[in-house]
Amino acid sequence: MIETVDLRRGAYHDSVSLMQVSRAVAATAGVHAAQVAMATELNVEVLTGMGFTVPAEAGTNDLVVAIRAEDEEASRVAQAAVEDALAGLRRGDRGAGGLGAAPDPRTLGSAVRRGAATLVVVSVPGAHAVTEAYDAVEAGASVMLFSDNVSVEDEIALKEAAAAAEVLVMGPDCGTALVGGVALGFANVVRRGDVGIVAASGTGAQQVLCLLDAAGVGVSHCLGVGGRDLTARVRGRSTRQALTALAADETTTSVVVVSKPPDLGVLGEVEALATDLGLEVHWATLGEGRPDLTAAVEGFLRGRGDEVPAWPAVVAAESPDASADGGRGADGRRGDALRGLFCGGTLADEAMIVAAPVLGPIRSNIAHDDALLLTGDLRAPGHVVIDFGDDGLTRGRAHPMIDPSLRLERIAVEAADASCGVLLLDLVLGHGAHPDPAGELAAAIRSAKAVAGRDLPVVVALVGTAADPQDRAAAERALAEAGASVFLSNAAATRHALALLGHAVPTDSAPAATPPAEGDHRAESVHRSPATGSSSTGVGELLTSDPVVATSGVSLFADELRAQAVPVTEVRWEPVPEHGRAPLARVMADRRRAHANALALARMTAAEATLVDVVPAREALGLEAGTLLHAGPPITWERASGPMRGALIGAVLFEGLASSPEEAERQLAAGVFSWEPCHHRDAVGPMAGVVSPSMWMYELRDEAHGNTSWCSLNEGLGKVLRYGAYGPDVIERLHWMTDVLGPLLRQSVRATGPFDIRAILAQMLQMGDEGHNRNRAGSLMLLRELLPGLITADGSPSDIAAAVRFSGANEHFFLNLGMPACKLATMAAHGIPGSSIVTTMARNGTDFGIRVSGTGDAWFTGPANTPEGLFLGDYGPEDANPDIGDSAITETGGIGGFAMAAAPAIVKFVGGDVPFALTATQTMYEITEGEHTAYQVPILGFRGTPTGIDVTKVVRTGILPQINTGMAGRVAGTGQVGAGLVTPPAACFDQALAALAATVPDPA
Amino acid sequence: MTSHRASPEVRPGDPPHLARAGSRTDRAVELPVWPAALTTLVRAEVLSGQATVVASGARGCYLRLDGASLIPPDARGVRGEAGGTGAMVLPVLAADAVALPTAARLGLDAGSVDLAVPVGLRVRLDPRGIDLPQARVAFVRRWTPARVPRTPRVPVVWPPVSDAGDGVDTERAVLVSLLRAALTVGLAGADPGPVVARLIGRGPGLTPSGDDVLAGALLVLHGAGLDPGLVGAVRALAHRTTDLSASLLLAAADGYAAPAVRAHVTAALRGDRPAAEAARREVERFGHWSGPDLLAGCAATLCAISPVLAPPAHRSAL
């Protein structure tokens, strides 16, 4: 025996797909056991139960491939089968469609916006489902929430958000819907017509759909609302939205609500709404003393004046009246217990409601009475009804409508149990269900009858239509040939089973004898008036156009939709790491967030940036002697990196505060001077970003928001202070800039300015710059603005010539204006309560820090990464310092690495290739709030650059902002060693999210 | 089933005889199947026999059906300059094409399927689908096109722009002034037919600009529940434009439109300015000129009917 347990990191697949893989591999010859699953706690338990030893380091995001095979050969074949099956799952990840194709959408919001989806289907695990659903609601799409394990609190909050956004949430745990003839999840193919269905029950809705279809009555839409919607807590929130949508739909004339008995208060509210909408509402509510679903449908049909047909039924020859000895088998034995084995929860419930008054107590895994609740192996003497679709039986396996194996096993068990008198089963056909469920069930029935050694009648409620993919007629034939009695009506099937047990049951469901419950057929005289019905907006729009769908989770849904000619966008969803889940759910549910982020983006894109002056830092920033500014988040001397220390030393020397580098270093280490981030004074500085009082600063102004920002003058390339160089030539250049360049630039700006920097940024993106590491066009355009004033400035011709030469020789001359322009944009977006938009990204060479609009001035930091890219001369990776500089403000403002597609030539400088540049920009749309209105990317059809990094999207997708940057030498004084690409550490965003979560007010 | 290109043995440029029948069942075995939804505006039974490809691109092909008549034979007059035959045209569209109300639509977009077929090619179709050289288009369901609802008369009609047409585009200005004339004549109770005759089929292309302007007008009138004789005039003159355009005009007369057009007209009639603006931006991106022409037709009509829709007290103030 060969046993292998293989661990694959970061290979996520949804559980249904993996179950299919497991099943396929287990069926390989020579394989005794196989399980392919994500290493969740539950799955590890299952694997351990199967006798496999799972490595202790396995985490929930790891894929475990466990195989026990006869020999080496079989093991190899099984491994190959796993690879094949996994490759098949990946096929959905469509290959690149050309040069730098856009990546698959990673969030539902992105998919909705890209594909103009009106509806999303969420089937990711429950812990993540609410987050996905919020995203879709925020993007303006209605949601079918297939996932279960959603708390009532989350359900209420989500439905509140949906009502505010005028969309519908179907679910949670909604398995069945039919929108405009499109089946979502488990739904039957029924004729189109004028009856709308609102369903708080999946298989209940399917029973009603199939009965109506058999009666020749068509259905317009079937909208699920989730099993708890009509309870006192949820208050029919989705039912109301669904009714509003149906009222606005031209084709719908009446509505049937399928549900457990609703809360009476809620019932009244829903009825009042229906009256306001002019909508005729009928209730098919399943409960003790209420008509069963078949009776409710019959009542509805009679109310419409339609004929009630004889429901399809095939009765097997073994029926009691056909047998002279009262149904006993040849050996005279026969059990007297009813054993109901169901896939559909509502059908199981209905069977018990019909049978209990006749049989007495029935034990069940879904019994409402604790005394009757079955647990453990679900065996008990007497009458038993089991719902195999219940949560407790679907953990770690697919729903029995897809994977019937558990129920098939139980049928064999019941066959061997002499007390089992009748087997009552259901079989639900339609989209989403097993492609040939009747074949397997018929075989199981045949074998059960053969091994029983007694007369074992089998009754099946076969819920399906002629148009279902599985063909109801063929299924009925197969089951009847196996010796089962087959009914379309579950209630009729149950009554037949009771009769087989020798109980006297009225064969008719006798709806007339059942007093109509409150609400039944009450609205017959009320006919909808289109005048009020069609004037609504919002959720009323859901049903006005053919559905366009986005899906997140099980790919089965997307496949089913494609087969129905529905446009589908599939999200490449991956689970959020454990520690991010709770804060993410809280922040996503923050009702302030959507508006706050929209506002942040609007302000960011509306911010102006005008160069109004050039001023010494002393005046501009009120920088006192002995005070220095630096790039990034706060840093101590002890933790400062080489280039940061070098720049601080250089600034001290430049200010004449020390006579030698050694003395400067001693003073700095001793705390003689103080320093703080440029950002704390609304300024920015590239690389080390060190600013001292005598240095001159550009002053930029945003009149729209009343903000001012500053940045130092660019020193040129090579050995410069910002890269940590502090040699005599560096200091000398700084003096020249202070004495000559600064005053001349001031004259120019004052004489011919102010200059619109934002306009230059917009133009340079169309000229091959991205504004961070490529500033050629921008520098030339800036020079064009400055030159007239420079040339006519009051100064010596040689000084003017030197200033012009210096400015023109530096292709990054413009960077020091682009940065404060972006700073102004992010300042405008800062400080909005509830906003999860990043307003600062900055590095000090040791730490990477971010600040977020909704969390004020707090920094969230993590260790800075070292850029990867190309090196100058003989320098190599070992020479590079970790990421440094405030220049990531460009990416924060929507340019730089985010606009890489605008500057394909950048790849020669930072590494990578042209398709990479295009893909990089397109990937950033997955984590940004929106697009810039002024900064555009020509090659993407002048699409606005991705702008406004959203912390929640970064955490959800794991996509980190792409930053283009220069690389400083690790050793102080080295200067620039290269340029490349870098990302922030994920920890910054995790911390920011946790802090944002703490600001979310508790729901009132 | 997600991604299928044309099979190698038949390329879009190949001569029509490659699509000959006979080998259909054999070929159907190897050809990919593209599920499609068929509009509820077309009866399936008219889809049998042969059709001719009248236009084609990656996002769609347009089939003129043999024998399926859109316009009753007695209404068919002289062939118009645009060359209508009165035959029904069925657009077969990828998911990312504008959802024309008369179309069969695939769930796949042009990135996954290529619907290009040579113009003039003869293809075979039946109530269950169409045999294109590259694939079998199988009708798996019906889709209901978006329809402008009858909006209860509200006093606030929001005119999206002044109805002066487009100052830059003189041709559009001419079309808009013709439409305005037709509406004035019609609202005064006279026959707008002679003016409509100057609009219908006017302009180049499969959907001439004059027809797009008219379609915008018909949609607004449908929503407002008004008919100053335009519907009758369009029906009588439908043979004077291309078959495709005629089918779209008749659909517009019944209120059927692409979803964004429906959203624009509906919102404008409700006086919901932000919604109308949002939809308007989407419509503007349609086709070469179709979107702007449709919008110009909507705008002119909204302005023309505003005084009619206003309550009496309000009207006297005008």
The model's pLDDT over A679-716, given as tens digits with 9 standing for 90+, comes to 999 999 999 999 999 999 999 999 999 999 999 999 98
- Is residue A4 within 8 angstroms of chain B, CB to CB? no
Closest Cα in chain A to B143: A546
Distance of CA A762 to the CA centre of its chain: 32
pTM: 0.78
Three-state secondary structure call for residue A927: coil
User: Mean of the per-residue pLDDT values for chain A?
Assistant: 88
Tell me how long chain B is: 318
Q: Give φ, ψ of A83 to 5 degrees.
A: -60, -45
Closest CA to A801 of A741, A743, A719, A752: A741
- Is residue A181 within 8 angstroms of chain B, CB to CB? yes
> How far A567 CA lies from chain B's nearest CA (Å)?
4
Check if the beta carbon of residue A329 is closer than 8 Å to that of residue A374.
no
- Is residue B262 within 8 angstroms of chain A, CB to CB? yes
At position A870, the amino acid (one-letter code) is L
Task: Please list, in sequence order, all residues whose beta carbon lies within 8 angstroms of the beta carbon of residue B302, skipping any fewer than 6 positions away.
Answer: B157, B158, B159, B160, B163, B220, B268, B269
Residue A258 has pLDDT above 80, yes or no: yes
User: Which runs of E-coded beta strand occur in A501-548?
Assistant: none
The predicted model gives A917-926 an average pLDDT of 94
Closest Cα in chain A to B148: A544
> How far A713 CA lies from chain B's nearest CA (Å)?
43
The model's pLDDT over A109-135, given as tens digits with 9 standing for 90+, comes to 888 888 788 999 998 887 789 999 999
Closest Cα in chain B to A468: B140
Most confident of A8-17, A206-215, A510-519: A206-215
Which residues are registered as beta bridge partners of A550?
A120, A569
How confident is the model at residue B73, as a pLDDT?
Answer: 44
Pick from B35, B146, B150: which is nearest to A563 by CB? B35
Tell me how long chain A is: 1004
E strand or H helix at A702, and its extent? strand A696-702
Residue A294 has pLDDT above 90, yes or no: yes
Residue A201 has pLDDT above 70, yes or no: yes
> How far apart are the C-alpha atoms of A720 and A715, rounded to whole Å?
6
Which residues are registered as beta bridge partners of A4?
A67
ipTM higher than threshold 0.90: no
Closest Cα in chain A to B272: A537
Pick from A250, A530, A565: which is nearest to B106 by CB? A565
- Is residue A182 within 8 angstroms of chain B, CB to CB? yes
Pick from A180, A534, A546: which is nearest to B149 by CB? A534
Integer-rounded Cα Rg, in Å, for chain B is: 20
Angle between helices A202-214 and A293-304 (to 10 degrees): 40
> How far apart are the C-alpha atoms of A308 and A295, rounded to whole Å?
10
**Lowest-pLDDT range, A275-279, A602-606, A729-733?**
A275-279
> How far apart are the C-alpha atoms of B4 and A545, rounded to whole Å?
27
Residue B79 has pLDDT above 60, yes or no: no
Q: How far is residue B261 from each of residues A495, A553, A760, B98, B176, measured CA to CA in Å?
A: 54, 33, 37, 10, 18
> How far apart are the C-alpha atoms of A947 and A604, rounded to whole Å?
8
Higher pLDDT, A687 or B73: A687
At position A662, the amino acid (one-letter code) is E
Residue A321 has pLDDT above 50, yes or no: no
CB-CB under 8 Å, B272 with A537? yes
The model's pLDDT over B32-66, given as tens digits with 9 standing for 90+, comes to 999 999 999 988 878 888 999 988 888 899 999 88
Check if the beta carbon of residue B207 is closer than 8 Å to that of residue B252.
no
Alpha helices in A753-796 (DSSP H): 757-764, 776-791
Angle between helices B170-187 and B290-309 (to 10 degrees): 30
Closest Cα in chain B to A189: B141
> How far A119 CA lies from chain B's nearest CA (Å)?
14
Residues of B in contact with A182 (CB under 8 A): 141
Residues of A in contact with B269 (CB under 8 A): none
Q: Give φ, ψ of A178 to 5 degrees.
A: -140, 115
CB-CB under 8 Å, B107 with A565? yes
Closest Cα in chain A to B154: A535
Angle between helices B230-237 and B243-253 (to 10 degrees): 160
> How far apart are the C-alpha atoms of A365 and A495, rounded to whole Å?
21
> How far apart are the C-alpha atoms of A598 and A602, rounded to whole Å?
6
Closest CA to A427 of A404, A450, A456: A404
User: Mean of the per-residue pLDDT values for chain B?
Assistant: 79
Check if the beta carbon of residue A900 is closer than 8 Å to that of residue A80.
no
CB-CB under 8 Å, B150 with A567? no
The pLDDT-based confidence of A730 (bands split at 50, 70, 90) is: very high
- Is residue B95 within 8 angstroms of chain A, CB to CB? yes
CA atoms within a 13 Å half-sphere pointing along the CA-CB vector of A60: 11
Closest Cα in chain B to A545: B146
- Is residue B145 within 8 angstroms of chain A, CB to CB? yes
> How far apart are the C-alpha atoms of A318 and B239, rounded to whole Å?
68
Residues of A in contact with B111 (CB under 8 A): 97
Number of A/B CB contacts below 8 angstroms equals: 83
Task: Please list, in sequence order, all residues whose beta carbon lies within 8 angstroms of the beta carbon of residue A132, skipping any fewer than 6 positions away.
Answer: A107, A108, A120, A122, A124, A552, A553, A573
Higher pLDDT, A306 or A321: A306
> How far apart are the C-alpha atoms of A126 and A132, rounded to whole Å?
10
The model's pLDDT over A449-470, given as tens digits with 9 standing for 90+, comes to 999 888 899 999 999 999 998 9
> How far apart are the C-alpha atoms of A567 and A336, rounded to whole Å?
52
Residue A601 has pLDDT above 80, yes or no: yes
Residue listed under structure tokens 């260790």: A863
The pLDDT-based confidence of B24 (bands split at 50, 70, 90) is: very low
**Lowest-pLDDT range, A528-532, A955-959, B96-100, B216-220?**
A528-532
Check if the beta carbon of residue A401 is closer than 8 Å to that of residue A441.
no
SS (H, E, C) chain B: CCCCCCCCCCCCCCCHHHHCCCCHHHHHHHCCEEEEEEECCCCHHHCCEEEEEEEEECCEEEEEEEEEECCCHHHCCCCCCCCCCCEEEEEEECCCCCCCCCCEEECCCCCCCCCCCCCCCEEEEECCEEECCCCEEEEEEEECCCECCCCCCCCCCCCCCCCCCCCCCHHHHHHHHHHHHHHHHHHCCCCCHHHHHHHCCCCCCCCCHHHHHHHHHHHHHHHHCCCCCHHHHHHHHHHHCCHHHHHHHHHHHCCECCHHHHHHHHHHHHCCHHHHHHHHHHHHCCCCCHHHHHHHHHHHHHHHHHHHHCCHHHHHHC
CB-CB under 8 Å, B151 with A182? no
How confident is the model at residue B197, as a pLDDT?
Answer: 92
> How far B95 CA lies from chain A's nearest CA (Å)?
6
Closest Cα in chain A to B267: A537
Neighbouring C-beta atoms of residue B77, cutoff 10 Å: 14
Check if the beta carbon of residue A845 is closer than 8 Å to that of residue A640.
yes
E strand or H helix at A947, and its extent? strand A943-949
Pick from A251, A535, A561: which is nearest to B107 by CB? A561
Output the furthest CA–CA distance in chain B (Å, rounded): 73
Check if the beta carbon of residue A16 is closer than 8 Å to that of residue A554.
yes
Residues of B in contact with A537 (CB under 8 A): 267, 270, 272, 275
Which residues are registered as beta bridge partners of A435?
none
Pick from A546, A561, A564: which is nearest to B144 by CB? A546
How confident is the model at residue B11, as a pLDDT?
Answer: 37
Residue A165 has pLDDT above 60, yes or no: yes
How confident is the model at residue A518, as a pLDDT?
Answer: 42
The model's pLDDT over A937-950, given as tens digits with 9 standing for 90+, comes to 989 888 999 999 99
Angle between helices A237-248 and A152-164 (to 10 degrees): 30
Neighbouring C-beta atoms of residue A532, cutoff 10 Å: 14
Residues of A in contact with B152 (CB under 8 A): 531, 535
Distance of CA A977 to the CA centre of its chain: 40
Three-state secondary structure call for residue A36: strand
- Is residue B270 within 8 angstroms of chain A, CB to CB? yes
- Is residue B263 within 8 angstroms of chain A, CB to CB? yes
How confident is the model at residue B87, as a pLDDT?
Answer: 81
**Lowest-pLDDT range, A186-190, A672-676, A818-822?**
A186-190
Pick from A181, A535, A544: which is nearest to B262 by CB? A544
Higher pLDDT, A173 or A895: A895
How confident is the model at residue A534, as a pLDDT?
Answer: 33
Higher pLDDT, A826 or B312: A826
- Listed by number, the residues of chain A in 219-258 with a beta carbon closer than 8 Å to a beta carbon of chain B are 248, 250-251
Residues of B in contact with A247 (CB under 8 A): none
How confident is the model at residue A837, as a pLDDT?
Answer: 98
> How far apart are the C-alpha atoms of A838 and A826, rounded to whole Å?
8
Residue A509 has pLDDT above 80, yes or no: no
Check if the beta carbon of residue A705 is closer than 8 Å to that of residue A828.
yes
Three-state secondary structure call for residue A40: coil
Residue A862 has pLDDT above 80, yes or no: yes
Pick from B105, B149, B262: which is nearest to A565 by CB? B105
Residue listed under structure tokens 């759910």: A585
The two beta strands, A458-463 and A484-487, are: parallel
> How far apart are the C-alpha atoms of A841 and A627, rounded to whole Å?
23
- Listed by number, the residues of chain B in 206-245 with a beta carbon closer than 8 Å to a beta carbon of chain A are none
The predicted model gives A78-92 an average pLDDT of 70
Residue B15 has pLDDT above 50, yes or no: no
> How far apart are the C-alpha atoms of A541 and A545, rounded to whole Å?
8
The pLDDT-based confidence of A533 (bands split at 50, 70, 90) is: very low
**Lowest-pLDDT range, A60-69, A153-162, A253-262, A928-937?**
A60-69
